[in-house]
Structures are given as structure tokens and as C-alpha cells.
Amino acid sequence: MHSSTPRLKNLTNGALDSSAAAKAGLGNYAFSAALEALPHLKSGEMFPSWSTPRIPTTPNGLFLRGHSLVCFAFRGQAGKLVRFLSLTILFALFFAFCGAHVVVAQVLQSASDAPVTSPRKLEGDAICARPKVGSEIPEPVNLTSKNGQLTVDLIFRSETDEHGRARFCYLYDGTVESPNLRVNPGDLLILRLKNELAPGTPRNSTSLKGHSKSGSATKHSAMPMISSPASVPDPCGNAAMDATSTNLHFHGLTIPPVCHQDDVLHTSIHPGSASFEYRTRIPEDQPPGLYWYHPHLHGFTRAQVVGGASGAIIVEGIEQKNKQVAGLPERVILIRDEDLLNPGAAPSGNSQKAPSVLLDRDGDARNTGDGSGVPAKDVSLNFVSVPYPDYPPATIRMRPLERQFWRVVNASSITYLNLQVLFEGKPQALGIAGVDGAPVNDNGSGGDYVLWQNHLGVPPGGRTEFIVTAPAQGTSASLITRSVNTGRDGENDPTRTLANIVSALDAAEPAFFLPAAAASAAASANASATVRAAEVSRLPWLGKVTPIRTRRLYFSERLRNPGDPKSATDFYLTVEGQKPALFDPGSSAPNIVVHQGDVEDWIIENRSQELHDFHIHQVHFLMLEWFGIPINEPFLRDTIPVPFWDGKTTQYPTVRLRMDFRDPNAVGVFPFHCHLLEHEDGGMMGLIRVEPAGVSSARP
């Protein structure tokens, strides 16, 4: 097993360009150089850097032509960070070989010791009110735990907007939408969810065609259910899942997969039910960082998430793991996607070109492969929509040259993000401190460092937390997402500006600041044992553990009627050796059985010509190889895109993941699936059962 420690130390000693890193034996960090030899990847299959005429590019194009892998430059010990500007040229050389996919962004904030801080209403009178296009990105309200407990009451509602699109929202205190839930390791989280969806709740169309595929694979009823108090089913009783029922998944948290905690297989809360109580304890060794909550209702997840049903969970204490972020003002940004506001519009600035929207078999705008065209979905930042075709950007105001800590969730249903911050058209270095909730330096190697990158790939479900420096006053600056090549059968994710970053002396400071290093250390020293997260003894770093076995799984797609190219597509996620089958919500038979304590390597293969997005509940994993190339990332993930097949190569693309089933909290049955929600709803999902240690059983 390779240890990441010496590699990191070497890197922090200045191996910032890929060739130097390779010579120093750091090939795993410099793997992108090796990928130059792979024709399939040479043009950047996963997160290519195509530009559109509307998006400024660098003069030399170096920053914009990486491929899609994670490729990091490292900065060393605390204090060295401030010198990074002097290394711009080295960064340029390094990034020239790199692509990236890490997480995306979202800017939220708030703060303080009161349980609720700075509650604010979103504009409008609607049930699920949304800010105006172009407005300043609002901060989600923070709900902060006190005395080791956070108790939250949320109401789940929906309405149809003036364009016929369904909105869904979590409301706190009547009007506060999608609050941040801020908890410490060891805290008790009590979330009471009242489902007030009305019978006949509007559903979002699956596609431009409005043809609905979601739910077609489930045995649950697709008809809205009209509930009366006498007939309301027990939410834990394996009730039907339908358009008006709901539940919650706590994405990334290692908490038990049981009803009232993180079960999504059988929990279904119907309208008319009493407020349903989720009661779970945040594990003391939960990595501090960004997580999120959303519905996970088989067949209906996509419609609710596209409508806005999502919110951030922040496990506090990242500044105790990494002093580079201590004391920084924080923004939390949820990037969601939504059905197109103007699906029939011609691309802006390109009106001579007919709006020939090619639809894929799911009915979404098909990947154009050139970074432009009609997107599959519009996106929003904390509900400030940036609609096609003109993409009027949202606004982010910062003080000149101020360093902030941005925590971004890709809460979209199907939109891959590839974030960049541009100053005068030039990509800026962003210092990644956390990926998918886990600090990037939380691997036993010690040291405070961030990973510098000039674009952040974030798949649906993924998160990224990074340091960003505000532009000088008068500098033109923006947050954009660059196009992502999702493959021939994938959806279109073109390049688009998301927000203008305005630097102004009078910009309001974010409501929440991470604790200063000294304050954080003092708080930790004074904390009770249950919240002393920094002192929790950790299991050995996953990269140093020998797996007890290797399994192979693969994504595949098949026309439902092979004789009809226009028929619907079925989506499969199959354990090799088993028969491909759509997920059956009526069966609890697991596809994989492991024991608590096991560590396994899983090779995930993609046999389709579409980028899929592997996610497993309850646990984090370590990515060891991407497309067969060793990469040795120093951090954990819970969501990872698996590159698409190009239809030509004799081997399918793969990723190798080291799966961690050591935590006793993961005992139980839970799913792994594609986090493109129409695929998940369509059945691209399987089950794993983690048995208690020592229990013998037959192993599928």
C-alpha cells in the first residue's frame, strides 16, 4: 500500500509542476500527464474545457485545455499560501495538464450562537418563493445546534410557478427555505418533517418533450394519493412511494440506514401524516464538512429535487483539521437545476443558427459535444435562476481582495458542473479544503494544506469547499461552469456564466465566519468528550488498508424495445456475474453482502456512451484509479463520475474505488446508484447489506 504522507511532503516541498512531480515519484498526483497517452481522453472527455463565444478565455488557452481528471497542485505548510501568486507560472504549467472534477459551489452563510440567525424571506409571495433573476445570491439561514442538539421543524410544500414548473420547498418557521443545518460531531439531530404536499401535486416534466420516464420502473403507484387521516399509511411500514409522498436522505453522513434515521428504501411519508421525526446522532468521527439533505423516493426523487427540495448540512470543525481556513468568512451555495424556462429559444448570440435541439432518448437536450447549445436544464444558485438562452448572471458581492471560504453543493438532478472563477477572463487558483464533506488533508499525514486548482468538476451530489480570493476593485470577475462532455448519449451541459463577482468596499460581509484557529482550539479543549471531534481516534487511512476482495460492477443502458430506437431507455447498474435488472423496490434482496469491518476494492465500469455518476449511501470511498491510471487521491469521496465508453475502445472505462465498511453505523441495507436522478428513478440502483462483524452468511 502506498502512503500518501511522503507524497504530500514531497509535493509541499515544491513539486508543483507535473513533470517534477513525476520525477519525484509522485505520478499519482501527476497522472494527467500519463493520460496524454490515451487518445480517448486526450481531448478531455469528462470535463473538457471547450469555450463558447460568450465566455472569455485565457489568451494562451493553457488553463482551458486540461482534461477532466482531478489534478492538483499542492501548497505546503500554513503560511506558504500567501506566496501562491508568485508561482502563477508554475501553476500554469501544472494546470495545463490538468482537468479537474471536484465539487461545485454554493454560497450560503449565516451564523452565530443563536439557533437561528438572520432569518430572511426570499422575495415574492409564493409558497416556495424564489429570488429574482440577476439578484444577489442570498445566504441560506443557519440553524445551529445548541448544547449538543439541533431540533428543526420543516414543512414540505409545493406549488406550480407561472411557467408551469413544479416547485418543492422545505420551509422553516413558515417562510425560511432550505436552511443550513449546522451540527457538530456527536450532536443529536432531530428533524421533524411535515409533508403538506396536496393531492394532485404538480410534477415536473422529465424532459423537453414532457414525456415522463420517472417512476415507470417502480412497482409503486404513480398516481397521486389522496389521503385521509384514517388511511394515512405508517411511514415506516413500507408504504407506497408516489408523487405526493416523500422522505429524506442525509447524503454523506455515516448514520444507520434505518427508519427515522437514513432509510430511503422503505420510508415514505404521506400527506396527512403527523410530523415525521428523524432522530440521529452525528458520528463523532464524521469528517467535518459539507453534506446535504434531499428526498430519496424511488421513482419520484428527480421531480422533487428538480423542484428545489434540497438543503445543506454542515458538520462543524473543518478549521480544526486545516488551519488554512480558520477565521475565513463562509459562503454556502447550493447549485440546483430546473426545467428550462425557455426550452424553445434559439441560443443567444447565435440566432442565425436554428435551434435544432437534439433530444436524447430520455428527452433531454442531447450533448452537443462543442460546449454550446441548449442545456438539458437551467441552473440556479441559492434559487437565483440563470436561465437559458441569455444566462443573466446572479450577483456575488465581496470586499476587494478578501479571502472567503466557499462551500458548494451540486444539488442538481443531472447537471455536471465544472466551476471556474475568472478575473478579466483568466481562471483563478482555488484552494480546495474539502471534497464530498471530507477535508482533503484528513488522511493521517498531518499538515495544513489546500489543493490548488483552476477549475472544479463537481458531479450531481458532489460537494467542493475552497478558498477564493475576491478580485480587486474594478476587476471584471465571474463564476462560470465550463461545459462537460457527458458522451454521445449524455445530456448537454454547455459553458455558461453563473454569477458576476462584484468587488466593493461596502459589500456586506457573510453572516458566518469560521472560528479563528485559536478560538477553535480553545473550544475543542473545552468541549465535552462527545464533541471533541479532533481527538476522536481514527481508523487507519483507507489507502493503507489491504482490501479483502475486489468486485466489479458496471453501468449499462438498453432500449426497452430493441427494435424501436425511439423507445425508452432502461438504465442498469449490475454486479458482474449477476443478471442486469432494474432496481426492484419490492425486493429487499441485496446484490452485495459484506461484513462490518470489511474493506473492498470495487471496479466500476461504464459500458454505456454516457457519463454516469456513482454514489453509495452511508460510506466514503477512496478513488485509486481513474480509467486504469493510479491516482492516489489524498482524500475521500462519496460520489464519482465514471467516464463514458466512446463506442470504440476494446476496454470499457473504469474507476477503482476502495470501499470502507468499517464503521458500525453502516450495518444494514442501503443502496448504491447513479446520482443522475432520472437514472436512479429509472432503476440504475442496487442494494448492499452490511452485516454485523462475525455474522456468517452467504455472499452474493
The footprint of Cu ion (CB under 5 A) covers 612, 674, 676, 679
Nearer to Cu ion, 99 or 490 (CB): 490
Supply the minimum distance, in Å, between the C-beta of residue 678 and Cu ion. 8
- Can you say whether the dihedral through the CA atoms of 268, 273, 275, 279 is positive or negative? negative
Nearer to Cu ion, 450 or 676 (CB): 676
Nearer to Cu ion, 527 or 674 (CB): 674
Supply the minimum distance, in Å, between the C-beta of residue 490 and Cu ion. 9
Burial 31-60 (b: 16+ CB within 10 A, else e): bbbbbeeeebbeebbbbbbbbbebbbbbee
Kindly state the DSSP code that residue 242 receives in the 8-state scheme: -
Supply the minimum distance, in Å, between the C-beta of residue 615 and Cu ion. 10
Residue nearest to Cu ion (CB): 674
Q: Which of 408, 183, 140, 431 minimizes the C-alpha distance to 288?
A: 183
Supply the minimum distance, in Å, between the C-beta of residue 585 and Cu ion. 18
Report helix, strand or coil for 529: helix
CA pair distance 520, 53, nearest whole angstrom: 47
Nearer to Cu ion, 44 or 487 (CB): 487
Kindly state the DSSP code that residue 403 receives in the 8-state scheme: E
Supply the minimum distance, in Å, between the C-beta of residue 614 and Cu ion. 9
Supply the minimum distance, in Å, between the C-beta of residue 178 and Cu ion. 25
Nearer to Cu ion, 512 or 572 (CB): 572
Nearer to Cu ion, 302 or 426 (CB): 302
Supply the minimum distance, in Å, between the C-beta of residue 460 and Cu ion. 9
User: CA of 73: how far to CAs of 15, 90, 628, 636, in Å?
Assistant: 8, 9, 21, 17
Q: Which of 193, 126, 194, 211 minimizes the C-alpha distance to 166?
A: 126
Cell of 203: 410534477
Nearer to Cu ion, 172 or 572 (CB): 572
State yes or no: cis peptide before 389, omega within 30 of 0.
yes
**Rg for the chain, CA atoms, rounded:** 23
Q: Which of 465, 377, 359, 451 minimizes the C-alpha distance to 414?
A: 377
Nearer to Cu ion, 452 or 644 (CB): 644
Nearer to Cu ion, 76 or 682 (CB): 682
Nearer to Cu ion, 396 or 674 (CB): 674
Kindly state the DSSP code that residue 458 receives in the 8-state scheme: E
Alpha helices for 43-192 (secondary structure H): 88-95
Rounding to the nearest 10 degrees, give the CA dihedral for residues 86, 90, 91, 95. 170
Cα 342 to the chain's mean position, in Å? 26
Supply the minimum distance, in Å, between the C-beta of residue 375 and Cu ion. 17
Cell of 211: 414525456
Supply the minimum distance, in Å, between the C-beta of residue 573 and Cu ion. 8
- Using H for helix, E for strand and C for coil, what is the string for 64-97? HCCCCCECCEECCCCCCHHHHHHHHHHHHHHHCC
Supply the minimum distance, in Å, between the C-beta of residue 612 and Cu ion. 4
